[in-house]
Amino acid sequence: MLNAPVGFDVSGDAYDRFMGRYSRQLAPLFADFARVEGGMRVLDVGCGPGVLTRELVTRVGSENVAAIDPSQSFVAAARERLPGADVREATAEELPFPDDEFDAALSQLVVAFMQDAVAGVGEMRRVTREGGVVAAAMWDFSGGMEMLRTLHTAALAVVPDHPAVQGPRRFGSEAELRELFERAGVRDVEAARLDVDSTYENLDELWSAVLESAGPIGEIVRDLDEEGVARYREEIGRRLGDPAGPFTLRARAWAVRGRP
């Protein structure tokens, strides 16, 4: 039985409203960094509802793209959106593909949520042919992803003991990603910083996305009572300066690539 990490069994549309507005902009930057181009066969590890998968399909054609995710709802969304791609329900730690199957294996915003990230990247290396590319990207958890930083620090003020608040925030730096890839046996590791941003019409737009969000923030929101939800919204607004109109939040990611 395959199980998605807690908090990720949400609809593709909910993901789009919460994180997709950032990951859609990140995807072409990350694919460029991974040197994905026509003629390659490519794997998207932890595809979610198919944001990076779509970018890969645009570059190499759906028949040359495979993708996996442990969330049934995300796999269903990716299959519906990209019917020509080979989208399967699976985990990064047990990729359902033979050795040397792909020219590139990419993982966008996923390694921090793998049960065993070294094994997951090791599997990406296994299924990538000699001379190919293994690449991963994660948000900079030190503060470079303003939306997540705001939501996390607000949660610390409201429910400081919640497991999702106290949980590990792994692989959010260049050094951590480099070490992960080297431990997994990836060679000639290189890194880059990738920057995007997103503008919200008002605080209500951000808050509506938070209410149906994926990942640790979604876990926190769903565990709050009515009073806690109100306090959380108030705390988020306070930390953003209680904007009355549009505001922009920047997001910094670190990406690494190397040879299998």
What is the pLDDT, as a whole number, of residue 4? 45
Report the DSSP pairing between strands 42-45 and 65-69: parallel
What is the pLDDT, as a whole number, of residue 72? 94
What is the pLDDT, as a whole number, of residue 2? 41
Q: Which residues of the chain have pLDDT under 70?
A: 1-9, 166-168
What is the pLDDT, as a whole number, of residue 215? 81
What is the pLDDT, as a whole number, of residue 6? 46
Sheet with 86-89: list strands edge to edge: 86-89, 65-69, 42-45, 102-108, 128-139, 247-259, 187-200
How far apart CA 95 and CA 89 sit, in angstroms, is: 10
Query: Cα-atom radius of gyration of the chain, to the nearest Å?
Result: 18
What is the pLDDT, as a whole number, of residue 9? 65
3-state secondary structure at position 66: strand
Domains of the chain: 12-145+169-199+250-259 (3.40.50.150)
**Dihedral through CA 122, CA 123, CA 127, CA 132, nearest 10?**
-30
pTM of the model: 0.93
